[in-house]
Amino acid sequence: MKALKTLNPYFWKHRVLLFWGFLFIILSNFFTIYKVQFVGQTINIIEGNYDNLKLSKEASLIDNVKANWSYFRIIFINSGILLVCSLLSGFFTFMMRQTIIVASRRIEYELKNKIFRHYEDLSLTDYKKTTIGDLMNRLSEDVVAIRMYLGPGVMYVVNLAILLIITSSYMLMTDVEMTFWTLIPLPILSFVIYKVSNIINQKSKTMQKSQSAISTFVQDSFSGIRVVKYFSKEKYIEKNYGIKVKDYQDKALDLAKTEAYFFTIILFVIGLLNVAIIFIGGQKYIAGEMSVGTIADFFLYINILIWPFSMVGWVTSVNQRAEASMQRVNEFLDMKSDIVNTNHENYSINGDIEFRNVSYTYPNTGIKALDNLSFKVNAGETLAIMGKTGSGKSTIALLLGRLIDPDEGEILIDGKNLKDHNLELYRQKIGYIPQESYLFSDTIAYNIGFAIDNPGEDLIIKYAKKADVHKNIVEFKDQYETIVGERGVMLSGGQKQRICIARALIKEPQILVFDDSLSALDTETEENILQNIENDLQSATSIIITHRESSAKRADKILYLP
Ligand SMILES: Nc1ncnc2c1ncn2[C@@H]1O[C@H](COP(=O)(O)OP(=O)(O)OP(=O)(O)O)[C@@H](O)[C@H]1O
C-alpha cells in the first residue's frame, strides 16, 4: 500500500469530515447492535408468559391487552426501543455516507484537477510518451478506482472493525462457545469473496476494454463516414461492428456468471451459519443452558456481521486495484516537463527573432528535422519559409512557440535566449495559426474569442472581419452562435482556416506564425487578409510558412529549407 500513502495529505485535508464520518459509523453500529438484545428479551417474555396469559377469543384485542397490561407493556416498550434504535441507526448510516462519501468525492475532484493541470504542463515531447487514451484512463478508471478506496474502501473496513468489536462483545457476553463456532467461518467467507472479487475485477476490465474498442470503432467510422460511403464500405463496417458487439456480449455474460457466485456464496454461508446456530443452540436449549431469545439474538448478530465480512473480501480487492491505479497516477504526476518557465517578470516584447545554429531531432523517431539552421528577422518584418515537405518548416513553428526546445544552438527573441524569457508572457504575445485548422467543438464566437480573456462581441466581429470570414458567418442561421461541430466539421476548410486566423489576430500579437495556414484560401482572400495584417499589425513580426509563391511574395525575406 506504498503508493496509496500519496493520499495521506488528502485525508488530512478532509480530516474534519472524516472524523464525523467515523463517529457516525460508531453510532450507527451501536444502535444496530444495541437493539438486538431486545428482540431476544421480547421472545423470552412471550415464551415464558404465554401459559399465564388471560387471553380470550371472544374479547376484543384492546380488552385482551388491558387484561394483560403488565405483560404487553414490556412488549410495547421493547418495540418502541427497537423502532427508535432502527431510526437512529438508519439516520447515522445516512450521515456516515454523507460525510465519508462526500470526502471521497471531494478528493476525487481535487485529484482529477491535479492530473489535468499536470497534463497541461507537459511538453510536446512528454505527450509522445503518453496517449490521450492513457490520460483518459487515468482521469476516469484510475481515479474511480482510487475513489473506491477512499470512500467505500475506508468506510467498510472501519465499519467492520467497529461492528466486530461491538457485536463480538455482545455475543461473548451471551455465549462464548456459540460465538466461537459462528464467527470462525466468517474470515473464510472474506477470503473466498476476495478471490471472487479479483476474478470479477479482471473480467470487468476485459469487458471495459471491449466496450472502449466499440466506442473507438464507432467514433472512427463516423468521423470517416465520407470515406466509408465513397468506398461503399458500409457492409464491411457493419460486419466489424457486429464482431465487436458480440465480443462485448460474450464478456458481459461471462462477468455476469462470475458475479452470480458472489451472492450464492454469501447465501450459502448464511445457510451454513443458521444450521450451526440451530444445532448448537438447540442442544443448549434442550440442556437448559440457552433460551429461545438468545438463539434468535444469534441469528440477528450473524445476519448483521455477514455483509461487512463479505465486503472485507471485496474491499481488499478494491484496495489492490486502487494501489495499482495510484501507482499509475503517481508515475504520471512524477513526470517533469522539459519546458520550464523560470522567469516571471513583466516586460514588453518587440519581436526580433534569431535562430542561431539550431538543430532539432525528434526523440521518438530519431528524425533530424533541423540541422544547424540560422536566420534572423527584425521586429515588424515578414519572413516566408518555403521548402519541400518534411524539410522542417512546422518544426520551426513549434520551436518558436517553445513547445519544444532545440537540442543544439539557440533561439533569440529580442536578443535574449527564448529559454530565459517569461514563457507565459511570451506566449501571450505570439499568435499561431496551425497547419491543421483545429477548432473546439463549440460556437464560432467561442473559437475566435478563445485566445483572450472575456472577449467582447464587438472585438470578435472586428477580428472576424480582418480574417475575411465575417461575411460567411453572418450567412449562418445562428451567426456567431453557430456550433462548429466536432472539430469544425460543419465548416469548409477555408472557413476553418480563417476562424483560426481571427483567433490568432484577436490577441494582437507581436509575433505571428502561419504554419501553411493560407493554403485553403483563394488568392484574393489571402491577399485581403495579408493586407489587413500589414495595416493593423505593422510592428508585428510575421513568419509565413508556405508552399505558395503568392503567399511569399509580400514577405521582406524568404528562407528556403533544403
Ligand atoms: N511529432 C513528430 N514526431 C516525430 N517526427 C516528426 C514529428 N513531426 C515531424 N516529424 C518529422 O520531422 C521532419 C520535419 O517535419 P515538419 O513537420 O517540420 O516538416 P514540414 O516541412 O513542415 O512538412 P510539410 O510541408 O509536409 O508540412 C519530418 O521528417 C517528419 O517526419
| Domain annotation covers residue 529 | yes
Whole-angstrom CA distances from 447 to 251, 348, 370, 378, 485 are 42, 26, 32, 31, 12
Split into its structural domains, the chain has a count of: 2
Q: Is 106 domain-assigned?
A: yes
pLDDT at 351 over 90: no
Query: For 433, what's the count of Cα atoms within 13 Å in the CB-facing half-sphere?
Result: 31
* ipTM of the complex model: 0.95
| Residues 62 and 177 placed together within one structural domain of the fold | yes
Higher pLDDT, residue 395 or 61:
395
Are 366 and 476 found together in one domain? yes
Phi, then psi, of 363 in degrees rounded to 5 = -65, -30
Task: Give domain status of residue 286, yes or no.
Answer: yes
| Structural Rg of the chain based on CA atoms | 36
- Counted residue by residue, the chain has a size of 562
Angle (nearest 5°) at CA 349 between 344 and 353: 115
Would you say 49 and 300 are in contact if contact means Cβ atoms under 8 Å apart? no
Q: How many degrees, rounded to 5, is the angle at CA 412 between CA 411 and CA 416? A: 135
Tens of pLDDT along 234-271? Answer: 899 999 999 999 999 999 899 888 888 877 888 888 88
Nearest CA owner, ligand 1 atom 17: 394
Q: Parallel, antiparallel, or unpaired: how do β-strands 416-417 and 408-413 relate?
A: antiparallel
Q: Is the pLDDT of residue 516 over 70?
A: yes
Distance between Cα 135 and ligand 1 center (Å) = 24
* Residues 295 and 419 reside in one and the same domain: no
Name which residue leads in pLDDT, 220 or 541.
Answer: 541
Owner of C-alpha cell 508552399 = 547
**Residues 248 and 367 placed together within one structural domain of the fold:** no
Residue 88 pLDDT more than 70? yes
- Give the residue from 508, 504, 514, 511 showing the smallest Cα distance to 469: 504
Cβ-contact 29, 162 below 8 angstroms: yes
Please give the Cα distance from 182 to 299 (Å, whole number).
10
Measure 545 CA to ligand 1 centroid, in angstroms.
13
394 in contact with ligand 1, CB cutoff 6 A: yes
Dist. CA 519 → ligand 1 center (Å)? 17
Is any ligand 1 atom within 6 A of the Cβ of residue 133? no
Same domain, 196 and 284: yes
Residues 6+ away with beta carbon under 8 Å from 324: 145
Residue nearest atom 24 in ligand 1 by C-alpha distance: 389
Q: Whose CA is nearest to atom 3 of ligand 1?
A: 362
Distance 369 CA to ligand 1 centre (A): 7
Asked whether residue 342 is domain-assigned, the answer is no
Adjacency order of strands within the sheet including 353-361: 368-377, 353-361, 408-413, 416-417
Q: Are strands 353-361 and 408-413 parallel, antiparallel or unpaired?
A: antiparallel
pLDDT of residue 106: 92
**What is the model's pLDDT at position 84?**
95
Atom number, ligand 1, closest to the C-alpha of residue 516: 27
Between CA 542 and CA 533 the distance in angstroms is 9
| Ligand 1 nearest atom to the CA of residue 561, by list position | 21
pLDDT tens per residue across span 191-213: 888 888 888 878 887 887 888 78
Given a contact cutoff of 8 angstroms between Cβ atoms, the answer to whether 157 and 314 are in contact is no
Share of the chain above pLDDT 70, in %: 97
319 and 207 co-located in one domain: yes
Rounded average pLDDT over 72-88: 89
Domain-terminating residue out of 304, 333, 362 = 333
Predicted local confidence at residue 301, as pLDDT: 85
Give dist(CA 326, CA 151) in Å, integer: 15
Q: Is 365 in the pocket of ligand 1 (CB under 6 A)?
A: yes
Q: State the distance from the centre of ligand 1 to the C-alpha of 158, rounded, in angstroms.
A: 56
Testing ligand 1's pocket by substitution, the residue of 360, 362, 513, 516 carrying the most ligand atoms inside 8 A of its CB is 362
- The values of phi and psi at residue 436, to 5°, are -95, 115
404 lines ligand 1 (CB under 6 A): no
Q: Helical H runs in 225-286?
A: 225-230, 234-286
In a domain, 537, yes or no: yes
Predicted pLDDT of residue 128: 66
Per-residue pLDDT, averaged over 536-560, amounts to: 83
Look at residue 338 and tell me if it is in a domain. Answer: no
For the stretch 10-20, what's the b/e string if a residue is b when 16 or more beta carbons lie within 10 angstroms of its beta carbon?
beeebeebbeb
Q: How far is the CA of 362 from the centre of ligand 1 (A)?
A: 9
* Nearest protein Cα to ligand 1, atom 6: 362
pLDDT at 57: 75
353 phi and psi angles, rounded to 5 deg: -125, 135
C-alpha cell at 366: 530519431
Verify that 325 and 389 share a domain, yes or no: no
User: Which of 264, 299, 333 marks a domain boundary?
Assistant: 333
Q: What is the pTM of this model?
A: 0.71
**Is the domain of 329 the same as that of 357?**
no
Report yes or no: 418 and 354 within 8 Å, Cβ to Cβ. Answer: no
The pLDDT score that the predictor gives to residue 353 is: 92
For residue 283, give its domain range.
3-333
Q: Mean of the per-residue pLDDT values for the chain? A: 85
Question: Domain check: are 358 and 441 in the same one?
Answer: yes
Query: With a 6 A CB cut-off, is 41 part of the ligand 1 pocket?
Result: no
Ligand 1 centroid to residue 558 C-alpha, Å? 20
Close Cβ partners of 382 (under 8 Å, ≥ 6 residues apart): 541, 542, 543, 544, 554, 555, 556, 557
User: Which grid cell is 186?
Assistant: 466468517
Indicate if 203 and 144 belong to the same structural domain: yes
Whether the Cβ atoms of residue 33 and residue 166 lie closer than 8 Å to each other: yes
Helix (H, G, I), strand (E, B) or coil at 399: helix
Most confident of 20-29, 174-183, 436-445: 20-29
Ligand 1 pocket check: which of 395, 400, 547, 548 to mutate, most ligand atoms within 8 Å of Cβ?
395
Q: Residue 539 Cα, ligand 1 centroid: separation in angstroms?
A: 30
395 lines ligand 1 (CB under 6 A): yes
Residues 116 and 181 occupy one common structural domain: yes
Whether residue 190 is contained in a domain is answered as: yes
Compute the distance between CA of residue 432 and CA of residue 547 in angstroms, rounded to an integer. Answer: 17
How far CA 302 is from CA of 42, 44, 48, 183, in Å, comes to 19, 19, 25, 8
Q: DSSP secondary-structure letter at 546? A: -
Distance 485 CA to ligand 1 centre (A): 28
| Residue 311: partners with Cβ closer than 8 Å, 6 or more residues away | 152, 156, 159, 160, 193
521 and 388 co-located in one domain: yes
Query: How close is the Cα of 527 to the center of ligand 1, in Å?
Result: 27
Answer whether 364 contacts ligand 1 (Cβ < 6 A). Answer: yes
Q: From the CB of 14, is ligand 1 less than 6 Å away?
A: no
Cα angle: 291, vertex 294, 298; to 5 degrees: 145
* CA angle, residues 341, 343, 347, in degrees to nearest 5: 125
What pLDDT, on a 0 to 100 scale, did the predictor assign at position 242? 94
How many secondary structure helices (H) and strands (E) does the chain include?
A: 23, 9
CATH number at residue 47: 1.20.1560.10
Which of 303, 333, 363 is the last residue before a domain boundary? 333
Ligand 1 centroid, distance to 440 Cα (angstroms): 24
Tens of pLDDT, residues 264-302: 888 888 888 888 888 888 888 888 888 888 888 888 888
Closest C-alpha residue for ligand 1 atom 2 = 362
Of 22-26, 58-62, 180-184, 537-541, which has the strongest mean pLDDT?
22-26
466-509 tens-digit pLDDT: 888 888 888 888 888 888 776 666 778 888 888 998 999 888 88
Extract the C-alpha cell encoding 201: 475485477
In a domain, 348, yes or no: no
Nearest-atom number in ligand 1 for the CA of 395 is 18
CATH of the domain at 545: 3.40.50.300
pLDDT tens digits for range 517-526: 777 777 778 7
pLDDT digits (tens, 9 = 90+) for 112-152: 898 888 888 877 777 766 666 667 777 777 888 888 888 88
Q: Of 306, 304, 263, 11, nearest to 155 (Cα)? A: 11
Q: Is the CB of 367 under 6 A from ligand 1?
A: yes
